[in-house]
Structure 1
Amino acid sequence: MMSFCHNVINISCEKSSWSNDVRASLYSLMVLIILTTVVGNLIVIISILHFKELHTPTNWLIYSMATVDFLLGCLVMPYSMVRSVEHCWYFGEVFCKIHTSTDIMLSSASIFHLSFISIDRYYAVCDPLRYKTKINILVIFVMIFIGWSIPALFAFGMIFLKLNFKGTEEMYYKYVHCIGGCSVFLSKTSGVLAFMTSFYIPGLIMLCVYCRIYFIAEGQARSIDANQKLQIGLEEKTRISQSRERKAAKTLGIVVGVFLTCWCPFFVCTVMDPFLDYTIPPTLNDALVWFGYLNSTFNPMVYAFFYPWFRRALRMILFGKICQKDSSRCKLFLESNP
């Protein structure tokens, strides 16, 4: 039997017809994603705040990104979970706008931070002698400010000024709008703008930076191998340098791969839907949103736990050693790292 989100059937959104078993499975899966996102990013936040050795410009950028992803897990995902499973919005129209704006803002801010971190790693690997002068704490704070402010202005401006369906108001209110729902409707113009701002431009930056680092790392590795016999005195130094560059290239490769895998399907569907007369099923779009959320779940694993000093910080946090006196001064770097 068909059920609705609101008492007035002819203007109400249709409620989910899934069985209780399907609902329970979906809730369990989404709760697991939310908890993993929140806990993983919280550990990164605590690590960087607590350990003085991690108070570096690069790590403040990672800290800011972890904060974005943590807030996404706390403030956005739980309400999105109810909406995705029930196909209804129970929290009011005003909060729908706030939630939608916050969702777009935090998702975009997370992507912006990824692109800024790739730029930071580019200078660390490709121009190490001038890295500290080019990427200082002021530059990092500018990156953080841009990473938060532009997504906030874009998201809240678009939703609260109703720019997302400007020019298609008649179609939206006649065929799409219903009471008890909370979905993002984008016109052709706003869909392309969202695609360019939140995905294409930062994604292109990440891809270009990764390719640049990869080719530089490979070129230097071949150069080191070719001259290894002539540079016996510098063997250890060149070995560390080669390992560092390959590690940076590998890390950024994983980052780009995870980013594209998680967000590409959603943004391609988002930009194509208006040109296909909105024929993409809402259920598919909802599933792709959660696939995009997984990027925030994986970020702490890729960026933090990939490095041994963060794993040491994790062990200290889990075993309660951070409560000991002077634990903030513990040495986490056991070797020279970029």
Structure 2
Amino acid sequence: MVENGSLIRPGMKVALVPCPALGDTTLFLWLAWRLQAAGVEVSLYSTALISLRGYLPGLAILGSQYDLEELSRSNDLVICALKRFDEGSASEHSNVAYLASKKFSSDHPLARRQVFIRDNILPGGNNVICRDSRAGKTMAQWIDVYANEVLGLDVGSAPAGFQSLPASSEDAKRRIAIFPTSPNANKNYSPRGFRRLADKLVSKGWVIEFVGTVPEQAALQSLYPNYIVHAFVNLKGLVDYLRSCSVVISNDSGGGHIASLLGLHTFTITRRRVDFSWRPGFNSLNHVINPSITFKWLGRPIWRPFISHRRLIRGLPKW
């Protein structure tokens, strides 16, 4: 068996297959950059990232459709999100590894299945990203743990990141983008709370704009009639727009992760702990705003009235 550090070598081919969710996709993109820095030929299977090909030189960005047998045959290693796991087909391909967000059970087929790369065992190839949700690490830090301890990659410096981005606009420092929705409505801050926060920020000289998906845009515009509400048909439109911003305020959602990848200040409003693992963590400018108290009423958690706008405003950059 060869040590992990010597298993990943320049010229190797590695395919990455994330889940469609934007937060998961950003983690696999981060891992792709780590592999790329080691001289690996990386293909990343994500429909969402196709529009960003021009900003991701050297990475082969392909759609979400793939054939596992072909990937296994044409790559030295394939790393898939656990949700892509199919026991029937995965058992036949020894160079396919799976990553779960959190622990999978000890009786899961992957718990006893070894991963090989060029006929050498890759210890820990099947693994979890977040090994300890109480450790305080972000998911970006956890993916670096996997990259370093399992794949033997150097994670001592930031990866190259996006390239050839549009220039940041002259008024970017004044603009804050608010993402008031997420796929899980139960974890969203209230529209009224976001509206009050936006009004306070405007009174302090900030330019506030809202961002949602295309199907949400009309409803969001009615909720925030005094503000511009943006919606973009692809991720490139969103990235280009965020180049005109310096801060993103969001629920626990993909918008915060993209903003973090772009180096922006992020404020995540959530009822979870300030060090919860899924907070944006691709740079150090991340802040979590959680409630001062939480209680249950008729079985439902009550937390939204106890979000401190003052604490968020105090954390904003002082340009």
For normalisation by structure 2, the TM-score amounts to 0.23
Higher strand residue share: 2
Q: Highest Rg: 1 or 2?
A: 1
Higher helix residue share: 1
For normalisation by structure 1, the TM-score amounts to 0.22
